[in-house]
Amino acid sequence: MSPLMLYAVLIVAIVFEVLGTSAMQAAQHFTRLGPTLVMVGCYAIAFFCLSYTLRAIPVGIAYAIWSGLGIVLISVVGVVAFGQRLDLPAVLGLGLIIAGVIVINVFSKSTFH
C-alpha cells in the first residue's frame, strides 16, 4: 500500500477515535446505550485502522500522530459541541502538540517522505 494511502487510513483512525471519545462524553458513564454502542464501534474501527497502518509506519510514529492529532481534534470538539473552554496554557500546549506532529512528519527519517 502506498504511503499516502497508509496516512489516509491513519486519518480515518483519528477521526473514529475522536468520534468514539465524543460518544463517550454523550454516554454519561455508560448509562445511555446508544452513545455507548457508538463509542465501542468507533473505537473498534479506530484501533483496526491504526493497527493496519503499523504494517509500514513505525508504532511510535503512528501513535504519536494518532494521539497528538486526536487530542487536538477532541479539544476542538469539546469547545464546539460541549461548550468547554480552553485557557491560554491549554491552547499553547495544543500548539506544541501540533508542532511536534509537524516535526515528526517533516524531519524524521522514520516516516515516509
If you compute the radius of gyration of the chain from its CA atoms, what whole number of angstroms results? 15
Q: Tens of pLDDT along 32-49?
A: 999 999 999 999 999 999
What's the confidence (pLDDT) of residue 112?
62
Percent of the chain with pLDDT over 70: 97
The answer to whether residue 113 scores a pLDDT higher than 60 is no
Higher per-residue confidence, 46 vs 55: 46
SS3 (DSSP) at 64: helix
Residues present in the chain in total: 113
Cβ pair 102, 63 in contact under 8 A: no
Model pTM score = 0.87
SS3 (DSSP) at 58: coil
For residue 45, what are the CA distances in angstroms to 24, 93, 107, 110?
A: 15, 28, 29, 25
CB atoms within 10 A of CB 55: 10
